[in-house]
Amino acid sequence: MGDTIGPSSFTILATGQIECAQIPSCTNAYLKFQFVAGEDWQLLDGLEEGITQAARVPEGRDGVLVWNFPIDITYKTTNAFGWPQLVVAVYGLDIFGRDVIKGYGCMHLPMSAGRYNLTLRLFRPRSASALQSFTSWLTGMPAEFSDPKFPSYGEGREVTRVQSGGHVKVQINLLTKDMDVFGYVDGSGRDMATVTQM
Amino acid sequence: MAELHIIGQLTGAFGFPSQNLFCKWGVSAGRSWELLEGLDAGQTQLDLAPDGEPVVWAHPLDLHYACRGLAGWPKIFFQVWCQDIHGRNDICGYGFCHVPTSPGQYELDCPTWVPEGTLGERITAFFLGGNPRLKYEEVVYMPGDRFRLNTVASGIVQLRLGVMVKDFERNHVQFG
Protein backbone atom coordinates (compact mmCIF):
# COMPACT_ATOMS: atom_id res chain seq x y z
CA MET A 1 0.00 0.00 0.00
CA GLY A 2 1.09 3.53 -0.48
CA ASP A 3 2.81 3.29 -3.87
CA THR A 4 0.10 5.37 -5.62
CA ILE A 5 -0.66 8.85 -4.40
CA GLY A 6 -4.42 9.28 -4.23
CA PRO A 7 -6.45 12.49 -4.04
CA SER A 8 -5.66 14.64 -1.07
CA SER A 9 -9.22 15.76 -0.48
CA PHE A 10 -12.81 14.89 -1.35
CA THR A 11 -15.36 17.13 -2.99
CA ILE A 12 -19.07 17.64 -2.57
CA LEU A 13 -21.30 19.38 -5.07
CA ALA A 14 -24.77 20.61 -4.12
CA THR A 15 -27.19 21.94 -6.69
CA GLY A 16 -30.81 22.75 -6.31
CA GLN A 17 -33.14 25.59 -5.56
CA ILE A 18 -34.71 27.54 -2.77
CA GLU A 19 -38.17 26.80 -3.94
CA CYS A 20 -40.78 28.56 -1.86
CA ALA A 21 -41.93 29.49 1.60
CA GLN A 22 -45.13 29.54 3.54
CA ILE A 23 -45.24 31.98 6.45
CA PRO A 24 -48.43 32.86 8.30
CA SER A 25 -49.55 36.47 7.82
CA CYS A 26 -46.69 37.25 5.43
CA THR A 27 -47.58 38.12 1.86
CA ASN A 28 -44.40 39.76 0.58
CA ALA A 29 -40.88 38.60 1.40
CA TYR A 30 -37.33 37.99 0.22
CA LEU A 31 -34.76 35.56 1.52
CA LYS A 32 -31.07 35.93 2.30
CA PHE A 33 -29.09 32.72 2.44
CA GLN A 34 -25.54 31.78 3.26
CA PHE A 35 -23.52 28.58 3.49
CA VAL A 36 -21.47 28.10 6.65
CA ALA A 37 -18.74 25.46 6.67
CA GLY A 38 -15.89 24.46 8.97
CA GLU A 39 -12.28 25.56 8.82
CA ASP A 40 -11.11 22.58 6.79
CA TRP A 41 -13.58 23.32 4.00
CA GLN A 42 -12.62 25.29 0.93
CA LEU A 43 -15.11 26.77 -1.52
CA LEU A 44 -14.28 25.68 -5.05
CA ASP A 45 -17.17 27.11 -7.02
CA GLY A 46 -20.46 28.85 -6.56
CA LEU A 47 -21.75 31.64 -4.38
CA GLU A 48 -21.64 31.19 -0.65
CA GLU A 49 -24.28 33.81 -0.03
CA GLY A 50 -27.06 35.50 -1.92
CA ILE A 51 -30.41 37.26 -1.86
CA THR A 52 -33.50 36.16 -3.72
CA GLN A 53 -36.02 38.40 -5.39
CA ALA A 54 -38.92 39.87 -3.43
CA ALA A 55 -41.92 37.63 -3.95
CA ARG A 56 -45.56 38.27 -3.33
CA VAL A 57 -48.35 35.84 -2.63
CA PRO A 58 -50.82 35.71 -5.55
CA GLU A 59 -54.39 36.83 -4.93
CA GLY A 60 -56.91 34.19 -4.03
CA ARG A 61 -54.40 31.36 -3.57
CA ASP A 62 -52.76 29.67 -0.57
CA GLY A 63 -50.11 31.87 0.94
CA VAL A 64 -47.11 30.43 -0.91
CA LEU A 65 -44.18 32.72 -1.70
CA VAL A 66 -42.28 31.30 -4.68
CA TRP A 67 -38.64 32.20 -5.29
CA ASN A 68 -37.19 29.32 -7.38
CA PHE A 69 -33.72 30.62 -6.57
CA PRO A 70 -30.90 28.39 -7.92
CA ILE A 71 -28.24 27.08 -5.57
CA ASP A 72 -24.99 25.71 -6.94
CA ILE A 73 -22.02 25.19 -4.69
CA THR A 74 -18.90 23.01 -4.65
CA TYR A 75 -16.68 22.44 -1.63
CA LYS A 76 -13.40 20.62 -1.16
CA THR A 77 -12.25 19.29 2.19
CA THR A 78 -10.04 16.84 4.02
CA ASN A 79 -12.35 16.37 7.01
CA ALA A 80 -16.10 15.82 7.25
CA PHE A 81 -16.25 17.87 10.45
CA GLY A 82 -17.81 21.26 9.72
CA TRP A 83 -20.08 19.89 7.01
CA PRO A 84 -21.74 22.89 5.29
CA GLN A 85 -24.97 24.28 6.66
CA LEU A 86 -27.47 26.38 4.77
CA VAL A 87 -28.61 29.34 6.89
CA VAL A 88 -31.57 31.38 5.64
CA ALA A 89 -33.18 34.59 6.85
CA VAL A 90 -36.54 35.67 5.47
CA TYR A 91 -37.40 39.37 5.51
CA GLY A 92 -40.86 40.65 4.79
CA LEU A 93 -42.68 43.96 4.66
CA ASP A 94 -44.74 45.10 7.59
CA ILE A 95 -47.87 47.23 7.19
CA PHE A 96 -45.78 50.40 6.99
CA GLY A 97 -43.62 48.98 4.21
CA ARG A 98 -40.43 48.41 6.23
CA ASP A 99 -38.22 45.32 6.09
CA VAL A 100 -38.72 43.18 9.15
CA ILE A 101 -37.35 39.76 9.95
CA LYS A 102 -39.87 36.96 9.51
CA GLY A 103 -37.73 33.99 10.44
CA TYR A 104 -34.37 32.24 10.40
CA GLY A 105 -33.76 28.65 9.43
CA CYS A 106 -30.79 26.37 9.30
CA MET A 107 -30.05 22.88 8.04
CA HIS A 108 -26.98 20.83 7.19
CA LEU A 109 -26.54 19.79 3.59
CA PRO A 110 -27.34 16.08 3.27
CA MET A 111 -24.46 13.68 3.84
CA SER A 112 -25.35 11.02 1.28
CA ALA A 113 -25.48 11.60 -2.45
CA GLY A 114 -29.02 11.83 -3.73
CA ARG A 115 -31.97 14.12 -4.22
CA TYR A 116 -33.68 15.65 -1.21
CA ASN A 117 -36.64 17.87 -0.39
CA LEU A 118 -35.70 19.77 2.72
CA THR A 119 -38.11 21.73 4.89
CA LEU A 120 -36.43 24.42 6.98
CA ARG A 121 -38.74 25.52 9.78
CA LEU A 122 -38.38 29.18 10.62
CA PHE A 123 -37.97 30.86 13.99
CA ARG A 124 -37.31 34.41 15.07
CA PRO A 125 -36.17 35.98 18.35
CA ARG A 126 -38.82 37.01 20.84
CA SER A 127 -38.76 40.46 22.39
CA ALA A 128 -37.75 40.54 26.02
CA SER A 129 -40.97 42.16 27.23
CA ALA A 130 -44.42 43.22 26.04
CA LEU A 131 -43.31 46.86 25.95
CA GLN A 132 -40.31 46.03 23.79
CA SER A 133 -42.54 44.00 21.53
CA PHE A 134 -44.82 47.02 21.07
CA THR A 135 -42.04 49.52 20.43
CA SER A 136 -40.37 47.19 17.95
CA TRP A 137 -43.65 46.87 16.07
CA LEU A 138 -44.02 50.66 16.06
CA THR A 139 -40.48 51.42 14.90
CA GLY A 140 -40.25 48.48 12.48
CA MET A 141 -37.17 47.02 14.17
CA PRO A 142 -38.06 43.66 15.71
CA ALA A 143 -35.39 41.68 17.50
CA GLU A 144 -32.84 40.16 15.12
CA PHE A 145 -29.72 38.09 15.57
CA SER A 146 -26.68 40.37 15.41
CA ASP A 147 -24.65 37.60 13.76
CA PRO A 148 -26.49 36.24 10.69
CA LYS A 149 -24.62 32.92 11.09
CA PHE A 150 -25.94 32.44 14.60
CA PRO A 151 -28.51 29.73 13.70
CA SER A 152 -25.61 27.52 12.58
CA TYR A 153 -23.80 27.64 15.92
CA GLY A 154 -24.06 24.86 18.46
CA GLU A 155 -23.04 27.10 21.35
CA GLY A 156 -24.74 30.08 22.84
CA ARG A 157 -28.21 28.96 21.85
CA GLU A 158 -29.37 28.38 25.40
CA VAL A 159 -29.87 32.06 26.08
CA THR A 160 -32.08 32.71 23.06
CA ARG A 161 -35.86 32.73 23.26
CA VAL A 162 -37.59 32.39 19.94
CA GLN A 163 -40.99 31.83 18.44
CA SER A 164 -41.46 29.65 15.41
CA GLY A 165 -43.81 29.77 12.45
CA GLY A 166 -43.58 29.15 8.73
CA HIS A 167 -41.18 27.08 6.68
CA VAL A 168 -38.99 27.27 3.58
CA LYS A 169 -38.77 24.42 1.07
CA VAL A 170 -35.40 23.72 -0.51
CA GLN A 171 -34.52 21.03 -3.05
CA ILE A 172 -30.96 19.79 -3.03
CA ASN A 173 -29.17 17.28 -5.24
CA LEU A 174 -25.92 16.14 -3.69
CA LEU A 175 -22.91 14.55 -5.42
CA THR A 176 -19.69 13.48 -3.79
CA LYS A 177 -16.34 12.67 -5.30
CA ASP A 178 -13.41 10.70 -3.89
CA MET A 179 -15.03 9.95 -0.57
CA ASP A 180 -14.45 6.22 -0.95
CA VAL A 181 -10.79 6.74 -1.76
CA PHE A 182 -10.53 8.60 1.51
CA GLY A 183 -12.12 5.65 3.28
CA TYR A 184 -15.45 7.36 3.95
CA VAL A 185 -18.69 5.45 3.59
CA ASP A 186 -21.74 7.68 3.43
CA GLY A 187 -24.42 5.08 2.85
CA SER A 188 -25.50 6.29 -0.59
CA GLY A 189 -24.56 3.05 -2.37
CA ARG A 190 -26.68 0.91 -0.08
CA ASP A 191 -30.12 -0.53 -0.66
CA MET A 192 -32.42 2.42 -0.09
CA ALA A 193 -35.31 0.30 1.12
CA THR A 194 -33.48 -0.36 4.36
CA VAL A 195 -32.51 3.26 4.98
CA THR A 196 -34.95 5.87 6.21
CA GLN A 197 -34.74 8.63 3.63
CA MET A 198 -36.37 12.03 3.71
CA MET B 1 -8.10 4.07 13.42
CA ALA B 2 -11.77 4.11 12.50
CA GLU B 3 -13.69 7.34 12.68
CA LEU B 4 -17.35 8.22 12.96
CA HIS B 5 -19.01 11.49 11.94
CA ILE B 6 -22.43 12.38 13.29
CA ILE B 7 -23.72 15.47 11.53
CA GLY B 8 -27.26 16.77 11.65
CA GLN B 9 -29.59 18.64 13.91
CA LEU B 10 -31.97 18.34 16.82
CA THR B 11 -34.91 19.48 14.71
CA GLY B 12 -37.68 19.91 17.25
CA ALA B 13 -40.40 18.17 19.16
CA PHE B 14 -44.15 17.64 19.24
CA GLY B 15 -46.77 16.07 21.43
CA PHE B 16 -45.65 17.67 24.69
CA PRO B 17 -48.13 19.30 27.09
CA SER B 18 -46.51 22.68 26.51
CA GLN B 19 -45.55 24.53 23.33
CA ASN B 20 -42.75 26.53 25.03
CA LEU B 21 -39.85 24.07 25.14
CA PHE B 22 -36.09 23.73 25.18
CA CYS B 23 -33.90 20.67 25.30
CA LYS B 24 -30.70 19.80 27.14
CA TRP B 25 -28.92 17.12 25.20
CA GLY B 26 -25.76 15.11 25.47
CA VAL B 27 -23.96 12.29 23.70
CA SER B 28 -22.60 9.35 25.64
CA ALA B 29 -20.07 6.94 24.18
CA GLY B 30 -18.07 4.05 25.56
CA ARG B 31 -14.50 4.02 26.83
CA SER B 32 -13.00 3.10 23.49
CA TRP B 33 -14.50 6.14 21.76
CA GLU B 34 -12.74 9.48 21.80
CA LEU B 35 -14.36 12.75 20.79
CA LEU B 36 -11.94 14.43 18.39
CA GLU B 37 -13.96 17.46 17.35
CA GLY B 38 -17.33 18.93 18.18
CA LEU B 39 -19.46 19.47 21.24
CA ASP B 40 -21.03 16.47 22.93
CA ALA B 41 -23.46 18.34 25.17
CA GLY B 42 -25.51 21.48 24.92
CA GLN B 43 -28.80 23.20 25.30
CA THR B 44 -31.11 24.37 22.56
CA GLN B 45 -32.99 27.64 22.23
CA LEU B 46 -36.30 28.09 23.97
CA ASP B 47 -38.97 28.07 21.28
CA LEU B 48 -42.64 28.96 21.46
CA ALA B 49 -44.53 27.24 18.68
CA PRO B 50 -48.08 27.96 17.53
CA ASP B 51 -50.68 25.36 18.53
CA GLY B 52 -50.64 22.24 16.41
CA GLU B 53 -47.16 22.82 15.04
CA PRO B 54 -43.95 21.19 16.20
CA VAL B 55 -41.53 23.15 18.36
CA VAL B 56 -38.47 24.20 16.34
CA TRP B 57 -34.96 23.98 17.78
CA ALA B 58 -32.82 23.37 14.63
CA HIS B 59 -29.81 22.80 16.89
CA PRO B 60 -26.78 21.69 14.84
CA LEU B 61 -24.93 18.53 15.85
CA ASP B 62 -21.46 17.91 14.46
CA LEU B 63 -19.38 15.27 16.20
CA HIS B 64 -16.23 13.51 15.11
CA TYR B 65 -15.33 10.37 17.06
CA ALA B 66 -12.33 8.08 16.85
CA CYS B 67 -13.19 4.45 17.53
CA ARG B 68 -10.88 1.78 18.91
CA GLY B 69 -13.63 -0.68 19.82
CA LEU B 70 -17.26 -1.11 18.85
CA ALA B 71 -18.67 -1.41 22.36
CA GLY B 72 -20.31 1.76 23.57
CA TRP B 73 -21.58 3.03 20.22
CA PRO B 74 -22.63 6.66 20.84
CA LYS B 75 -26.11 7.46 22.04
CA ILE B 76 -27.83 10.83 22.26
CA PHE B 77 -29.92 11.54 25.35
CA PHE B 78 -32.29 14.45 25.96
CA GLN B 79 -34.11 16.25 28.70
CA VAL B 80 -36.98 18.31 27.38
CA TRP B 81 -37.94 21.23 29.61
CA CYS B 82 -40.89 23.57 29.36
CA GLN B 83 -41.14 27.13 30.59
CA ASP B 84 -44.46 28.43 31.89
CA ILE B 85 -45.76 32.00 31.74
CA HIS B 86 -44.10 32.79 35.05
CA GLY B 87 -40.70 31.84 33.69
CA ARG B 88 -40.29 28.63 35.70
CA ASN B 89 -38.64 25.66 34.03
CA ASP B 90 -40.06 22.20 34.55
CA ILE B 91 -39.03 18.83 33.19
CA CYS B 92 -41.27 17.55 30.42
CA GLY B 93 -39.56 14.44 29.17
CA TYR B 94 -36.48 12.24 29.29
CA GLY B 95 -35.41 10.14 26.34
CA PHE B 96 -32.49 8.80 24.39
CA CYS B 97 -31.74 7.14 21.10
CA HIS B 98 -28.72 5.35 19.66
CA VAL B 99 -26.93 6.93 16.77
CA PRO B 100 -27.74 4.62 13.82
CA THR B 101 -24.98 2.14 13.21
CA SER B 102 -25.22 2.20 9.41
CA PRO B 103 -24.05 5.19 7.42
CA GLY B 104 -26.75 7.23 5.73
CA GLN B 105 -29.22 10.04 6.25
CA TYR B 106 -31.95 9.53 8.87
CA GLU B 107 -35.06 11.17 10.28
CA LEU B 108 -35.52 9.84 13.80
CA ASP B 109 -38.48 10.20 16.15
CA CYS B 110 -37.53 9.51 19.77
CA PRO B 111 -40.32 9.02 22.30
CA THR B 112 -39.82 10.43 25.79
CA TRP B 113 -41.22 9.76 29.24
CA VAL B 114 -41.55 11.70 32.46
CA PRO B 115 -41.47 10.31 36.01
CA GLU B 116 -44.82 10.23 37.73
CA GLY B 117 -45.28 10.97 41.39
CA THR B 118 -48.00 9.94 43.79
CA LEU B 119 -51.47 11.46 43.53
CA GLY B 120 -50.62 14.00 46.21
CA GLU B 121 -47.47 15.04 44.36
CA ARG B 122 -49.38 15.42 41.12
CA ILE B 123 -51.96 17.69 42.73
CA THR B 124 -49.19 19.81 44.25
CA ALA B 125 -47.40 19.98 40.93
CA PHE B 126 -50.59 21.15 39.22
CA PHE B 127 -50.80 24.20 41.49
CA LEU B 128 -47.19 24.92 42.35
CA GLY B 129 -45.23 23.34 39.52
CA GLY B 130 -42.34 21.04 40.20
CA ASN B 131 -42.81 17.69 38.52
CA PRO B 132 -40.61 14.98 40.01
CA ARG B 133 -37.19 14.73 38.40
CA LEU B 134 -34.64 11.96 38.21
CA LYS B 135 -31.95 11.99 40.84
CA TYR B 136 -29.52 9.95 38.76
CA GLU B 137 -29.81 11.07 35.18
CA GLU B 138 -27.75 8.17 33.80
CA VAL B 139 -30.85 6.02 34.24
CA VAL B 140 -32.12 7.54 30.99
CA TYR B 141 -29.44 6.00 28.77
CA MET B 142 -27.74 3.28 30.86
CA PRO B 143 -29.22 -0.14 31.25
CA GLY B 144 -29.83 -0.70 34.90
CA ASP B 145 -32.43 -0.93 37.56
CA ARG B 146 -35.49 1.15 36.73
CA PHE B 147 -37.88 -1.17 38.47
CA ARG B 148 -39.10 1.28 41.08
CA LEU B 149 -39.57 4.13 38.63
CA ASN B 150 -43.15 4.93 37.50
CA THR B 151 -43.33 6.94 34.33
CA VAL B 152 -45.86 8.28 31.91
CA ALA B 153 -45.31 8.78 28.20
CA SER B 154 -44.56 12.27 26.99
CA GLY B 155 -43.96 13.81 23.56
CA ILE B 156 -41.59 12.95 20.73
CA VAL B 157 -38.22 14.54 19.90
CA GLN B 158 -37.29 14.76 16.24
CA LEU B 159 -33.74 14.41 15.01
CA ARG B 160 -32.23 14.61 11.58
CA LEU B 161 -28.89 12.80 11.50
CA GLY B 162 -26.32 11.96 8.90
CA VAL B 163 -23.92 9.20 9.84
CA MET B 164 -20.65 8.79 8.01
CA VAL B 165 -17.88 6.34 8.83
CA LYS B 166 -14.27 6.07 7.84
CA ASP B 167 -12.14 2.92 7.71
CA PHE B 168 -14.65 0.65 9.39
CA GLU B 169 -14.74 -1.72 6.43
CA ARG B 170 -10.96 -1.86 6.45
CA ASN B 171 -11.36 -3.27 9.96
CA HIS B 172 -13.88 -5.87 8.72
CA VAL B 173 -16.97 -4.28 10.27
CA GLN B 174 -20.23 -4.96 8.39
CA PHE B 175 -23.13 -2.52 8.44
CA GLY B 176 -25.77 -4.49 6.60
Nearest CA in chain A to B47: A162
Whether chain A has a CB inside 8 Å of the CB on B40: the answer is: no
Residue A189 has pLDDT above 70, yes or no: no
Whether chain A has a CB inside 8 Å of the CB on B158: the answer is no
Residue of B56, B76, B110, B175 to mutate, testing the A interface (most A Cβ within 10 Å of its Cβ): B56
Give the chain B residue whose CA is nearest to the CA of A111.
B162
Nearest Cα neighbor of A154 from B35, B66, B82, B26 is B26
Closest residue, chain A, to B173 (C-alpha): A185
User: Which of A12, A4, A14, A5 is closest to A173 using CA atoms?
Assistant: A14
DSSP A95-154: TTS-EEEEEEEEEEPPSSSEEEEEEEEEEEEPPSSHHHHHHHHHHT-----SSTTGGG-S
Decide the pairing of beta strands B2-14 and B151-166. antiparallel
What pLDDT score does A25 carry?
82
Q: B106 to chain A: nearest residue by CA?
A: A196
SS3 call for B79 = strand
Interchain contact, B48 vs A162, CB within 8 Å? yes
For chain B positions 125-154, those within 8 Å of chain A (CB to CB) are none
For residue B159, the one-letter residue type is: L
Q: Do B45 and A123 touch (CB under 8 A)?
A: yes
Q: Please indicate if any CB of chain A lies within 8 Å of the CB of B45.
A: yes
Q: Is A4 helix (H, G, I), strand (E, B) or coil?
A: coil
Q: Is the pLDDT of residue A24 over 50?
A: yes
In 3-state terms, chain B is what percent helix, strand and coil (to 5)? 10, 55, 40
The DSSP bridge partners found for residue A154 are none
Instruction: Using an 8 Å CB-CB cutoff, list chain B residues near A79.
Output: 37, 64
CB-CB under 8 Å, B12 with A151: no
CA nearest neighbour of B173 among B105, B106, B101, B104: B101
pLDDT in tens, chain B (176 residues): 899 999 999 999 999 999 999 999 999 999 999 999 999 999 999 999 999 999 999 999 999 999 999 899 999 999 999 998 888 899 999 999 999 999 999 999 999 999 988 888 889 888 887 888 888 888 899 888 888 888 999 999 999 999 999 888 888 888 87
Mean pLDDT lowest among A1-5, A90-94, B22-26, B50-54: A1-5
Under 8 Å between Cβ of A158 and B42: yes
Backbone φ and ψ of A12, nearest 5°: -125, 145
| Cα end-to-end distance, chain A, whole Å | 38
Check CB contact under 8 Å for A153 and B60: yes
pLDDT tens-digit map of A136-162: 888 888 888 989 899 999 888 888 899
